[in-house]
Each structure stands twice: as C-alpha cells, then as structure tokens.
C-alpha cells in the first residue's frame, strides 16, 4: 500500500487503480462536486457504481475520507477489496480491540490511511469523535443513507445521530448515497444529513442486465427446484417470508442435491456468519433467506434472486432483486406470485403497531408490488413506471417473450362487481366465487345469497378461472380488499365498468404455463456457453483465484471479478499490455498477478480457436 502515491485526475485513478476505462453515468460529475468541496446526494441503483464516487476522491484528497457504513461484514469486504487494489483503507467497528483501535488511530495520524470505514455507532462514540477532531478529514461519505429514515425498511436510529456531523464538521463535504429513497425518505435524508443545499444526482433505476419474471404460484416448490436446477452452476438468493419457510425450503433444496444454506435472524450469529461467508466464497451455491439477508450482501456474481414469497413492497422488491447482477453481467429476477400472500401481507400491515399514516404508506407500497406482479406489459417498463420513471421495453422478460393474450372480460367483470355490491362489500373472494358458480356453501345458505340475481351467473367458469379474474382486477386496481376481513370492495375504477361505460381486457392464459425463466428456449441467457478450450482455461483461472483468495484471506471477487475472468478467457491477453486493457486490471493487480495470469493463459494459447461471438455479447458495458 502506498498512500502517498499521487494521482492527477479522477480518470487517472479510475484507469490506474481500478482498471476501468470510462466513468459510468454521473460518477464523474459526482466526483467533481465533492472534490470542489460541495455536498452531494446520490440516488443510484445497486450495482450502479456508488462506491467509486467516494473511493476516487479519497485517493485525490490530502486528508482522509470517512465512509459511514451500517454493517461490519460490508465494511470488511470493501476494505479487503480495496487493499487488494493497493488502496490504503481500514475500518473501525465494535469488533476491534482497544489495541487494534489505537493502532488504527496511529496509522491515520501518520497519514498511512486514505479511507476509513466506520459504523455510525462507533462514529457517534466520544472516543472516535474526539479523535476525528484532530484529524484532517476531507470527505464524509454516508453509504446506505436511507437507513436514516423510519419510512425505509432498514431504519437505524444511529443514522439519525449523524446529524451531529452537520454541526461539528460544517465545512467538510458530505456525500450521501443510497439505492432506494422515495420522496419521504429523501426528505429525511436531506433533513438529518443537512443536505438541503446539496447537489442531487438521481440516476435511472434501470438495471439493463436484469431480466424480470413473474410466475403464478402453482406447486411452488417444484417451480423453484426446476428453476434452481436450470441455474445449477450459478449463485442465487431465494427469499422467503418467514424463518420457518426459509428452513423448510433450505431443507427441501438440500434433499434434492442443491448446495444451499439458510440465513435468518433466528439462527445464531456464528451460524449466520458461516453461511454468509460460504455463500460469498462460493461460485454456485444458493442462499435461502429472509429479508434479514440484506444490506450486507456485496456479492457481485449473484445470477438470480428468486422471491419464493411475494416481496412486501415495491421498494423491498427493487432492493432485493437488485442484488442480482451487480457485476453487470446478465441476471434474473423471479417473483413467485400467489394471491393468498397478498392478504397475509396486508393483514400484517394493518395489525402492526405502526400509526395510521405509516400503515397507509405501506399499503400503498404493497399495492405497487401487486401492480407489478399483475402487469401485462413489459416488466421493466412496469417496474420503472411504478418507481416514477419511463423506460423502453426490455425484450427479455416474461411478458416480452410471451405476450399475454388479452380478451374482452367486461361481462364477467361486471358480474363480479355486481355481486360484490349486492353482498354489501362485506365478503371475501371465495364467497363471491361460490355465489357466481352456484355453490351452495354453508355461508351462502346462511346469508341467503342463493337468492341473489347473480347466483350461478358464472357457472361455466372453473373456480380457478374465476379466482384468476378476481385477482387480475385486483392487481389492476379495479377493486380493493379490506385486509381486516379480506372482503372485496368497489372503488372509483369499478363504477365505470359496472355501468358499462368502460371495457376491460384481461389475460386469457396467464403466466401460469411459463415455468422456465430467463430464456426463450430453455437455454439461460445467463449461462455463458464456453467452448472446450475456454472451459479448461476458465477452470484453471477459477482454481488459481480460489487459491489466491485463501492465501490473501479475501473473497474470490476481491481477487478477480466474474467479468474480469470472462474477458481473460475470451480475449486471452498474452502480454502485460493486453492484460492491462482487461476490465478490472489496474496497476496493482497487473504487478501482483500479471505474470501468473499470463502464464496460465499461455498454456492454453497454442490453440487458434476463433469465437464467433463478440466478447461483449453477454456483457452490459
């Protein structure tokens, strides 16, 4: 590590240290904003490249850059990755002994550190604050800034105390970064972190490399197993709604020969850590988890995120699905969508201890994820619209691959709406279904609903078909559900249809039949089809990386990222100059690993194999 190494420009650092050629999106402007002493608020999706926005200034500033980050595991991983790049980074968290803390402070005072990662708890402590007063600080970067807001799902009270930075260090630039922040959360971030005058950078939420799929729940375990088998050489996360379900699914996958681990708050800390580390190190295992497996995941090569249960809100979904494909290579998001779950989540929100405002807020977010699941247009367009952005069709989601066939469902929907109205908007979907299908259930008889004029009006439809229509009109916002008792309600959108003023078209064959995700023909786009020679080279580089990771005590991707390996295998650089052109190979890696990599590549280079595919075909540049 050479902290005194001086670089001229941000681009110089990007090329020489990180081995990347050009900035992405607003990175360069953000870097200039903080370098010129201004505050900035950055809203950028996961994988967008937020870290470089403070890591590059850190190497250009005289003083140190303090990065506030919520989790120790996250910090450790980032620090290790930076150290592999030759950057003088360190961290301070509660797991350090007093002696280690003292040593870290000494290193900082001797100008041996450029980047200090610290948890908010530690930063707010007296000892750290006193120390920071004596230090030349050039920038405060507040990562995962949405933790400041109780509207968000990762609220941390300690984050709110960061407002002391505003008073104690008023002239030091503050850079807040997050991947999720709706208007409420943004206001909180600006308020607590004193960013009202900051320059706001709002990157698009578009994640081009993610293909989105929604499958209707239908033998959910088998659907999951088929999917996981399709991606058996890749890493993925399966999200479940409860600890019990995590354990059940993990066991189920294990029994079917899948290398999976569990993660939830009910496991003891050491087990969680072991499973987390195992997943980080592995190239092809599955993590079955509750949302407790969240903030700390910085694994770039997660190829899919499968929601076995429905996410609680559009924000949860965006955040969780965004953990796929951080390395920019193709990845898949799947939601296994069941109507019953909606009722469960809705009930949970209603029965929570939150105040009415927060409940309404959460119900609105739930409604959005339901709209996403029920969308008949391109999923990407639907998702971005729900997040307040316009986009273009992706051509690779379930709805793009297999356009849903719509039919005029106005008459059926009118019958349903009329029945809901006639029973006083007090009954559930199953009761409405019974009436329309002339089923003399106990409840129908008790309430004498067999006397209604709509009784038996949909006898030709199966229970499943009728339920599907009800689900679709709910997803489209044409009816509401009272979650306290699951009763169906009419709303503003119901009336024009009921009165015959508007037609409605619904999906005839739903996503039900589409069990394969991520492909047109069963071959996953995320599976990189290697030739025989490439396969051998790939295996050799993987095992070399594995040994190096063990030797350096870091994660695999801190040695080489998936994308770097991809370029190495496809481009086969056989000298230093060509190698330095490879994605992610900066000066330090070239010096440290260059000869060994060239040697491995040369062993395979006697063959003059020509690939037809372009090297970038599977990559998102």
**Burial per residue of 523-538, b for 16 or more beta-carbon CB atoms within 10 angstroms, e otherwise:** ebbbbbebbebbeebb
Rounded to whole angstroms, what are the CA distances from 96 to 89, 123, 137? 15, 13, 22
Residue 400 contacts which entry, ligand ADP, Zn ion, none (Cβ below 5-8 A, type-dependent): Zn ion
CB 129 within 8 A of CB 168: yes
Nearer to ligand ADP, 24 or 493 (CB): 24
Among 10, 48, 120, 374, binds ligand ADP (CB under 6 A): 48
**Cα–Cα distance for residue pair 313/368, rounded to 1 Å:** 7
Q: Which does 23 bind (CB under 5 to 8 A by kind): Zn ion, ligand ADP, none?
A: ligand ADP
The answer to whether residue 47 forms part of the interface with ligand ADP (CB under 6 A) is: yes
Asked if 50 interacts with ligand ADP (CB under 6 A), we say yes
Give the residue among 211, 154, 208, 157 at the shortest CA–CA distance from 181: 154
Question: DSSP character for 181?
Answer: -
Residue (58 or 214) nearer to ligand ADP, CB? 58
Tell me how crowded residue 186 is: count the other CB atoms within 10 A of its CB: 21
3-state secondary structure 260-329: EEEECCCCCHHHHHHHHHHHHHCCCCEEEECCCCCCCCCCCCEEEEEECCCCCCHHHHHHHHCCCCCCCE
- Please state the closest distance from residue 458 (CB atom) to ligand ADP, in A: 49
What's the rounded Cα separation, in Å, for the pair 326 and 420? 46
The token duo for 573 is: 């650089």
Among ligand ADP, Zn ion, none, partner that 129 touches (CB below 5 to 8 angstroms by kind)? none
Q: Which stretch binds ligand ADP (CB under 6 A): 18-26, 63-71, 307-315, 425-433?
A: 18-26
Q: How far is CA 527 from the centre of its chain?
A: 20
* Distance separating alpha carbons of residues 352 and 528, to the nearest angstrom: 45
CB 381 to Zn ion: min, Å: 7
Enter the tokens of residue 539: 């295996």
Which does residue 46 bind out of Zn ion, ligand ADP, none, counting CB within 5 to 8 angstroms by kind? Answer: ligand ADP
Residue 334 contacts which entry, ligand ADP, Zn ion, none (Cβ below 5-8 A, type-dependent): none
Which residues from 107-126 bind ligand ADP, rule CB under 6 A? none
Nearer to ligand ADP, 43 or 253 (CB): 43
Number of residues that bind Zn ion (CB under 5 A): 4
Which residue stretch of 17-25, 397-405, 478-486, 533-541 sits at the interface with Zn ion (rule: CB under 5 A)? Answer: 397-405
| φ and ψ of 469, to 5 deg | -65, -45
- Burial, 353: exposed, middle or buried (Cβ in 10 Å; 0-12, 13-18, 19+)? exposed
Query: Toward ligand ADP, which CB reaches closer, 327 or 330?
Result: 327
Shortest gap between Cβ of 491 and ligand ADP (angstroms)? 38
Residue with tokens 């850590």: 273
23 lies in the binding site for ligand ADP (CB under 6 A):
yes
SS3 98: helix
**Binding to Zn ion by residue 397, rule CB under 5 A?**
yes
Distance CA 116, CA 113 (A): 7
For Zn ion, the closer of residues 50 and 396 by Cβ is 396
Minimum Å gap between C-beta 367 and Zn ion is 21
What length does the chain have? 621
Select the residue interacting with Zn ion from 60, 66, 378, 579 (CB under 5 A).
378
Question: Closest Cα partner for 317 from 346, 291, 355?
Answer: 291
- Locate 128 and state its tokens: 């750290």
Task: Locate all alpha helices (DSSP H) within 296-409, ordered by sequence.
Answer: 314-321, 339-351, 356-374, 379-386, 398-401
Tokens describing residue 111: 């100008």
Q: In terms of CB distance, is 54 or 339 closer to ligand ADP? A: 54
Region from 190-198, 375-383, 405-413, 477-485 binding Zn ion, contact rule CB under 5 A = 375-383
Contacting residue, 16, 33, 46, 564, with ligand ADP by CB under 6 A:
46
Q: Which of 44, 89, 363, 475 binds ligand ADP (CB under 6 A)?
A: 44
Euclidean distance between CA atoms 497 and 494, whole angstroms: 6
Residue 384 as a binder of Zn ion (CB under 5 A): the answer is no
Which partner from the list Zn ion, ligand ADP, none does 397 bind, CB cut-off 5 to 8 Å by kind?
Zn ion
The answer to whether residue 325 forms part of the interface with ligand ADP (CB under 6 A) is no
Residue of 300, 311, 374, 518 interacting with ligand ADP (CB under 6 A): 300
The number of residues that bind ligand ADP (CB under 6 A) is 16
- Report how far residue 85's alpha carbon sits from residue 523's, in angstroms, rounded to the nearest whole number: 36
Confirm or reject binding of residue 375 to Zn ion (CB under 5 A).
Answer: no
Q: Which stretch binds ligand ADP (CB under 6 A): 16-24, 192-200, 238-246, 483-491?
A: 16-24
Sites of contact with ligand ADP (CB under 6 A) = 20, 23-24, 27, 44, 46-52, 300, 326-327, 561
Residues that bind Zn ion (CB under 5 A): 378, 394, 397, 400
């Amino acid at each position: 590590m050479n902290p005194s190494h001086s670089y001229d420009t941000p681009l110089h650092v990007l090329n020489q240290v990180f081995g990347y050629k050009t900035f992405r999106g607003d990175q360069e402007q953000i870097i200039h904003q903080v370098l010129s002493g201004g505050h900035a608020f950055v809203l950028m999706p996961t994988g967008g490249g937020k870290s470089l926005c403070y890591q590059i200034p850190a190497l250009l500033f005289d003083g140190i850059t303090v990065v506030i980050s919520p989790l120790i595991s996250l910090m450790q991983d980032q620090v290790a990755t930076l150290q592999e790049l030759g950057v003088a980074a360190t961290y301070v968290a509660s797991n350090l002994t007093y002696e280690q803390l003292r040593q870290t402070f000494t290193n900082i005072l001797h100008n041996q550190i450029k980047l200090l990662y610290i948890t908010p708890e530690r930063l707010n402590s007296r000892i750290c604050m006193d120390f920071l007063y004596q230090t030349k600080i050039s920038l405060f970067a507040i990562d995962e800034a949405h933790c400041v807001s109780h509207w968000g799902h990762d609220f941390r009270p300690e984050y709110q105390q960061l407002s002391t930075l505003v008073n104690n260090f008023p002239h030091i630039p503050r850079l807040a970064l997050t991947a999720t922040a709706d208007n409420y959360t943004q206001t909180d971030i600006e308020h607590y972190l004193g960013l009202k005058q900051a320059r706001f950078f709002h990157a698009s939420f578009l994640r081009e490399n993610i293909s989105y799929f929604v499958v209707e729940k239908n033998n959910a375990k088998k659907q999951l197993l088929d999917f996981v088998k399709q991606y058996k050489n890749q890493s993925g996360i399966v999200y479940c709604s409860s600890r019990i379900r995590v354990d059940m699914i993990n066991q189920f996958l294990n029994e079917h020969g899948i290398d999976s681990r569990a993660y939830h708050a009910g496991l003891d800390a050491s087990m969680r850590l072991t499973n987390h580390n195992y997943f980080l190190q592995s190239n092809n295992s599955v993590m079955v988890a509750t949302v407790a497996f969240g903030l700390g995941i910085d694994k770039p090569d997660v190829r899919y995120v499968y929601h076995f249960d429905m996410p609680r809100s559009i924000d949860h979904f965006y955040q969780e699905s965004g953990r796929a494909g951080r390395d920019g290579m193709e990845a898949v998001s799947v939601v296994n969508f069941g109507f019953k779950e909606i009722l469960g989540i809705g009930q949970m929100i209603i029965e929570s201890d939150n105040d009415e405002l927060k409940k309404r807020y959460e119900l609105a977010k739930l409604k959005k994820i339901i709209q996403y699941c029920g969308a008949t247009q391109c999923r990407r367009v639907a998702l971005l619209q729900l997040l307040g952005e316009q986009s273009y069709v992706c051509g690779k989601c379930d709805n793009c691959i297999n356009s849903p066939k719509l039919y005029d469902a106005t008459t059926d929907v009118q019958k349903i709406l009329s029945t809901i109205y006639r029973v006083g908007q007090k009954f559930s979907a199953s009761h409405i279904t019974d009436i329309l299908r002339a089923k003399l259930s106990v409840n129908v008889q008790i309430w004498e609903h067999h006397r209604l004029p709509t009784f038996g009006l949909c006898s030709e439809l199966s229970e499943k078909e009728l339920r599907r229509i009800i689900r679709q009109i709910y997803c489209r916002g044409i009816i509401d559900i009272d979650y306290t008792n699951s009763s169906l309600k009419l709303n503003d959108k119901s009336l024009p249809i009921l009165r015959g003023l508007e037609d409605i078209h619904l999906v005839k064959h739903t996503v039900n039949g589409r069990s394969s995700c991520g492909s047109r023909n069963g071959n996953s786009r995320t599976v990189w089809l290697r030739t025989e020679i490439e396969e051998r080279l790939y295996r050799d580089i993987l095992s070399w990386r594995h040994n190096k990771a063990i030797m350096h005590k870091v994660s695999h991707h801190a040695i080489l990222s998936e994308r770097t390996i991809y370029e190495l295998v496809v481009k086969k650089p056989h000298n230093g100059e060509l190698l330095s052109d490879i994605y992610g190979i900066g000066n330090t890696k070239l010096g440290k690993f260059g000869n060994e990599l060239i040697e491995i590549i040369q062993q395979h280079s006697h063959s003059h194999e020509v690939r037809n595919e372009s090297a970038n075909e599977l990559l998102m540049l």
